[in-house]
Amino acid sequence: MHRSAICPDRRLFLQTLAAGAAWWTVPGAFAEELSATPALTEGPFYPDKLPLDKDNDLIIVGDNTTPSVGEISHLTGRILSPSGEPLNNADIEIWQCDANAVYLHSADSERKADQRDRNFQGYGRFTTSSTGEYRFRTIKPVPYPGRPAPHIHFKISQNGHAILTSQFFINGFAGNKDDGVFLGITDPIDREFVLVDFVPMKESRIGELAANMDIVIGRTPPEREGPARAERSAGRSRRRSRRAQ
């Protein structure tokens, strides 16, 4: 399956299709459920000191009028339950390195103080409304030594409870095939749900990009393993139980 031009509606179709297979194999699963966005590592550079400015515009810091370096990108989407319902009052955080490959973390920013773009916020937060929508203005991510795949980290929580931590990747970027975190997603369909298209905004006069990705949360770790594996695991448990009797 070629992935270079997949649209959000197509992605939701794939999520429905992937989860729909569970209807045939796992008792209690429903075909109309969406497949969850895969969880990925938080990584070592979640800010150890959150900035004073934590809004959803990472291009401008505080009252500064100088924008950050990089390709300005509008990252939008919805946070959905497996049944497709929008998640209200969910907090989504994003963090990423600046255009010079420096994170807003003392272990990185202090070591590369002369390289850091101080006009880049590096971290942002947004709380969804009843529509489940989120919106950020940031930069298109860049690679850095050790991570050949550019990415944006994100974490979702609700009522103080962490729900999902994962990463967005640029669809079609050559470095994806060499990135250990991305390759850790072994199911090619699951990879679809973290690949984002960064496309030019026709109405922008300054070359801004648009990136849209819906996030589906709510499945348990055994469910994320896939319906077939979950059923095999359940079968092994039943066999062990019978032997113990």
The pair of structure tokens assigned to 109 is 């920013």
Are the C-beta atoms of 169 and 182 separated by less than 8 Å? yes
pLDDT tens for residues 53-89?
Answer: 999 999 999 999 999 999 999 999 999 999 999 999 9
Establish how many alpha carbons lie within 13 A of residue 25's alpha carbon, considering only the half-sphere containing its beta carbon: 16
The CATH homologous superfamily to which domain 8-234 belongs is: Aromatic compound dioxygenase (2.60.130.10)
Domain parsing of the chain, residue ranges: 8-234
Determine the Cα–Cα distance for residues 55 and 43; give it in Å rounded to an integer: 22
Are the C-beta atoms of 154 and 128 separated by less than 8 Å? no
Q: State the pLDDT confidence band at 12, using cuts at 50, 70 and 90.
A: low
Q: State the pLDDT confidence band at 155, using cuts at 50, 70 and 90.
A: very high
pLDDT tens for residues 38-57?
Answer: 999 999 999 999 999 999 99
The CB density around residue 232, as the number of other CB atoms within 10 Å, is 13
pLDDT tens for residues 138-148?
Answer: 999 999 999 99
Determine the distance from the C-alpha atom of residue 151 to the mean position of all C-alpha atoms in its chain, rounded to a whole number. 9
Establish how many alpha carbons lie within 13 A of residue 237's alpha carbon, considering only the half-sphere containing its beta carbon: 6
Say what percent of the chain tops pLDDT 70: 76
Are the C-beta atoms of 123 and 51 separated by less than 8 Å? yes
What's the pLDDT at 134?
98
Determine the Cα–Cα distance for residues 200 and 98; give it in Å rounded to an integer: 20
Q: What is the mean pLDDT of residues 152-173?
A: 97
Distances (CA, A) of 176 to 17, 81, 147, 159, 173: 24, 28, 9, 34, 6
3-state secondary structure the chain: CCCCCCCHHHHHHHHHHHHHCHHHHCCCCCCCCCCCCCCCCCCCCCCCCCCCCCCCECCCCCCCCCCCCCCEEEEEEEEECCCCCECCCEEEEEECCCCCCCCCCHHHHCCCCCCCCCCCCCEEEEECCCCCEEEEEEECCCCECCECCCEEEEEEEECCEEEEEEEEEECCCHHHHHCHHHHCCCCHHHHHCCEECEEECCCCCCCCEEEECCEECCCCHHHHCCHHHHHHHHHHHHHHHHHHC
pLDDT tens for residues 95-123?
Answer: 999 999 999 999 999 999 999 999 999 99
Q: State the pLDDT confidence band at 14, using cuts at 50, 70 and 90.
A: low
pLDDT tens for residues 188-228?
Answer: 999 999 999 999 999 999 999 999 999 999 653 444 454 44
What's the pLDDT at 72?
98
Quick one: which of 212, 216, 218, 178 has its CA closest to 195?
Answer: 212
Mean pLDDT estimate for the chain: 84
The pair of structure tokens assigned to 36 is 């969850």
Q: What is the mean pLDDT of residues 151-165?
A: 96
What's the pLDDT at 33?
80
Q: What is the mean pLDDT of residues 124-132?
A: 98
pTM across the whole model = 0.79
